[in-house]
């Protein structure tokens, strides 16, 4: 079971950086790319309070919008 779920979109440099950071820290994650799986967009909007932003990183009850570096 992954520790984290990360919602991403194709071509997003912040998404790539967030995934690299998680990998570098040895944190397993499940990636959901909303470009490939647009059915998840309503879930992302719910998690972000309606903001259209990725990545969205979910770890337990904690939701992090965006990525500013490790």
Instruction: Name the token pair of 30.
Output: 């499940």
Residue 1 has pLDDT above 90, yes or no: no
pLDDT of residue 3: 78
- Residue 70 inside a domain? The answer is no
Q: What share of the chain is helix, strand, coil (3-state, %, to 5)?
A: 30, 25, 45
Strands 29-33 and 4-8: parallel
Number of structural domains the chain divides into: 1
What pLDDT shows up at residue 68?
A: 84
Q: How many residues does the chain have?
A: 70
Does residue 13 fall inside a structural domain? yes
Q: What is the CATH number of the domain that holds 23?
A: 3.40.30.10
In a domain, 18, yes or no: yes
As a whole number of angstroms, the distance between CA 50 and CA 13 comes to: 21
Q: Domain residues for 37?
A: 4-65
pLDDT, tens digit, for every residue of 12-62? 999 999 999 999 999 999 999 999 999 999 999 999 999 999 999 999 999
Calculate the alpha carbon distances from 10 to 53, 60, 65 in Å: 13, 24, 17
């Amino acid at each position: 079971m992954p520790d984290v779920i990360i919602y991403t979109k194709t071509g997003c440099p912040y998404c790539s950086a967030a995934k690299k950071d998680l990998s570098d820290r040895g944190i397993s994650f499940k990636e959901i790319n909303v470009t490939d799986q647009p059915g998840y967009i309503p879930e992302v909007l719910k998690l972000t309070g309606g903001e259209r932003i990725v990545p969205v990183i979910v770890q337990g009850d904690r939701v992090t919008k965006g990525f500013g570096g490790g």
